[in-house]
Structure 1
Amino acid sequence: MYVVSINADKCEGCGDCIDACPAGILGMIDGKAQVTGAETDCMGCETCVVTCPNEACSLQEL
């Protein structure tokens, strides 16, 4: 199982990670990307990590 997290201090709200996430678990709240879907739906593909220009997304395997 994987868990994605987004550092709000680094996120500039570009939405790149949201558009790229194949699981569709990321969304925009108050101008920042956040996990809005079920964390357990994360596929561990690291697309959000690679796509984020500010290195705000991180992925942890549990």
Structure 2
Amino acid sequence: MFMVTIDRDKCDGCAACADACPAGILGMLDDGKADVTGEAYDCMGCETCVATCPNECYTVTEV
């Protein structure tokens, strides 16, 4: 199982991560920042969010 962590202070709301996440667990909140909006346990650990985010907001760890 994997856990994705988002540093929302670094997020500028570009939505690249939400568009790219193959598990569909990332989305944009009303404040314009990304967050885990789906089931966190559905994270596949692919690190697409890490590779896509221009602001290095993401960390994926195996738990």
For the aligned pair, the TM-score class normalised by the smaller chain equals over 0.9
* Unmatched tracts of structure 1, length 5 or more: none
Aligned positions, number: 62
Q: Which residue of structure 2 aligns with residue 34 of structure 1?
A: 35
TM-score, L = length of structure 2: 0.95
Structure 2, unpaired ranges of 5+: none
Shift of 1:53: 0.2
The yes-or-no answer on 1:25 pairing with 2:11 is no
| Aligned-pair Cα RMSD in Å | 0.5
Q: Distance in 2 between matches of 1:22 and 1:36?
A: 13
1:11 aligns to what SS in structure 2?
Answer: coil
Partner of 2:14: 14
Letter in 2 for 1:31: G
Identity of aligned residues (%): 66
SS in 1 for 2:5: strand
Any runs of at least 4 consecutive aligned residues in structure 1 with deviations exceeding 2 A, and if so which?
Answer: none
